[in-house]
Chain A
Amino acid sequence: MANFDQELDASGLNCPLPILRAKKSLAAMESGQVLHIIATDPGAVKDFEAFAKQTGNELMESREEAGKFHFMMKKS
């Protein structure tokens, strides 16, 4: 797994909370830093793609592991 600067565990949270929490975490980070997000909501996969597309933050990685979804988001 790639390196990251901050981690957000959004496990157990449902739409739209993982996105909203991620937005909040990213707001406190600096450009170029990477946020690792963990979620259990299957809808988060598509949602983080759309979030990245709309906000310009880069979704570096999106994968499923042991029933959890992991995202690496680089702040633009």
Chain B
Amino acid sequence: MSEKKLAIIATKGSLDWAYPPFILASTAAALGYEVQVFFTFYGLQLLRKKLDLKLTSLGNPGMPMPMPMPVLLQALPGMQSMMSVMMKNKMKSKGVASVEELRSLCLEADVKMIACQMTVDLFEFNNSEFIDGIEFGGAATFLGFAGDSDICLFV
């Protein structure tokens, strides 16, 4: 069986958007795919040693709320943190893996993770803020792999 390839660009750094790249990357690796994920802009947050991912209901009218709440209230200080904690608890109770768990499963399964060097410099991140086992590269690095991939996703 020839090895299939999955290439993903992860551009978002919120709790909800952290899931698609890590779920697909870890599952594809389990199915025998060779996988590369390129993290750029806010997606770099997903590679930090200490993950502090949050989600927000602002600008997201599709987000199910435990109780109806006017948008102005949702913008109050502390609301975003509270919602993020509630979502993490709900996920835990439903047996959904944490982002940390999925990320380490990806690393175990040899998913290659590449941090976009340009945005690392742009946001003045220090390479030591990121987890071990990742690489740093640019658009050409990603395209080199993506050009031969069977599935290519922009998240």
Contacts and interface: CB of A to CB of B under 8 A. Distances in A.
Contact of A12 (B23, B30, B95, B105): B95
Contact of A56 (B1, B4, B23): B1
Interface in A45-76: 50-51, 54-56
Nearest to B94: A14
A29 interface: no
Given A12-B95, A14-B94, A56-B1, A19 B32 contact: no
A62 to B, nearest CB: 17
Contacts of A55: 31-32
B120 to A, nearest CB: 29
Closest 10 CB pairs between A and B?
Answer: A23-B30, A16-B27, A14-B95, A54-B31, A12-B95, A13-B95, A14-B96, A20-B30, A17-B97, A16-B23
Nearest to B30: A23
Interface of B: 1, 4, 23, 26-27, 30-32, 94-97, 105, 109
A47 to B, nearest CB: 8
Contacts, number: 36
A16 B105 CA distance: 11
Interface of A: 12-17, 19-20, 22-23, 40-41, 50-51, 54-56
A20 B105 contact: yes
A16 B30 contact: yes
A51 B27 CA distance: 9
Given A16-B23, A20-B26, A56-B1, A51 B95 contact: no
A54 B105 contact: no
Contacts of A14: 94-97
B84 to A, nearest CB: 19
A31 to B, nearest CB: 15
